[in-house]
Structure 1
Amino acid sequence: MKNYFGTTPHPDAALAREMWRDRLEVLWRQVLKDAEQLRPGAVRAGVAVVQRAAALDGLDAPQQFEIAPMGDAARYGGDGPDAARPSTAGCGP
């Protein structure tokens, strides 16, 4: 697309959110039918739909993720694997 139009498309967030809300509503209706028929996994599926809907609408608490180097981090300027270990200095006899 970028080669043809000269730019990549930027989807409208409100439109995408509305589309996913509609999809979750369809899934919720199916969950209710499955629960009425006592199908295995219906409650678990319902919880998954509700969790996703809450995240989509911003009802869940904000989450923060930190990405840190792992393994050979010292070679690339990171702290390395020993930096993550708690210090044991002064803890023993």
Structure 2
Amino acid sequence: MIGNLEYLFSYYGLTLQHDIWMNLEDGVDGEAALSAVDTLGIDVINTRYASRILADEQAVMERVGVFGTLSISFIAAAIMAAVWVTDVQLRVLE
């Protein structure tokens, strides 16, 4: 959900825990950005870096194996379909 949190917080009179996503330019230090956010009076409870999560997940060998198997299966299915279509066409021509 995307909305104006300041309006909601002032309307209900309380501040709820929420997530803030930041898209940082290449070369920007995430820790420096967090310290800048902290100077605004925003309490940072938990941080996660998408680039680190993606690198960790891509390094998991089970994921690599599953996607490799799916790729080979897709190619095999495409070849089998092409052979079947060719066979049907040859039978129609006879």
Report the TM-score, using the length of structure 2 for normalisation.
0.30
Bigger RCO (CA 8 Å, 6+ sep) = 1
Report the TM-score, using the length of structure 1 for normalisation.
0.30
Q: Could you say which structure has the larger radius of gyration?
A: 2
